Amino acid sequence: MATKKMNTAGSMWNKWDLHIHTPASFHWEGDRFEGKTQEQKDAICKQVIEAINGTDVVAFCVMDYWTFEGYKLLRDYNSRHLDATKKLILPGIELRLDAPANYRLNAHVLFSDELPLDTLDAFLTTLRFSGPDERPVTKANFIAVARNYAGDKLRLHGFKVEDKVNDAKMLECGMKTAEVSRESLKHAIETVGKEHCLFILPYDTSDGV
């Protein structure tokens, strides 16, 4: 009589970290990707990968605010350095939703790593800021959103009326405060396909960015 081979290992438990940021996220305080040469970007990617390799976590998700650029750079680096890491790195995005609440609703969407990069781009271009204009999520529109704020709202978030002439400060302000409509997020998820992504419920971030 044939017998089945027993699995003596038992259940296997692994650590996953589904919320990491890269130097592409607007609030990154260290060396950033923006303005760097390809060689410099590769050096930064190497540092990020080495930090990932130095943990006992087996899978990560890049949850940068408003962008997939950090994930794209890591994915490109790993495609050219096949022995860089054996750990799973998933694409994700963090954004802010409009909602009838007295705190910020930061939403997270996690995606399959098998998605083409242009599908991630399609998700982002489908999003619209809340409001009657339904502006797409672009740097120029982050700046425009912030410039439309009255002085009291600017001061609430650490900016001054005089900062309206400073594109960099208005970009930062817009990224800290802009909200996307729930309807556009729904359409963006449908664009990717619900089977290829996971929407992670918002939580109270009233003390955060």
* CB-count exposure of residue 98 (10 Å: 0-12, 13-18, 19+): middle
pLDDT of 2? 47
Residue 114 has pLDDT above 50, yes or no: yes
Higher pLDDT, 189 or 131: 189
pLDDT category of residue 106 using cuts at 50, 70 and 90: confident
pLDDT category of residue 103 using cuts at 50, 70 and 90: low
Kindly write down the DSSP assignment for every residue of 54-100, as one continuous string.
TSSEEEEEE--BS--HHHHHHHHHHHH-TTS--SEEEEEEEEEE--S
pLDDT of 132? 79
Residues 94, 104: Cα–Cα separation, whole Å: 12
User: Average pLDDT in the 69-91 region?
Assistant: 96
Closest CA to 38 of 75, 81, 85, 73: 73
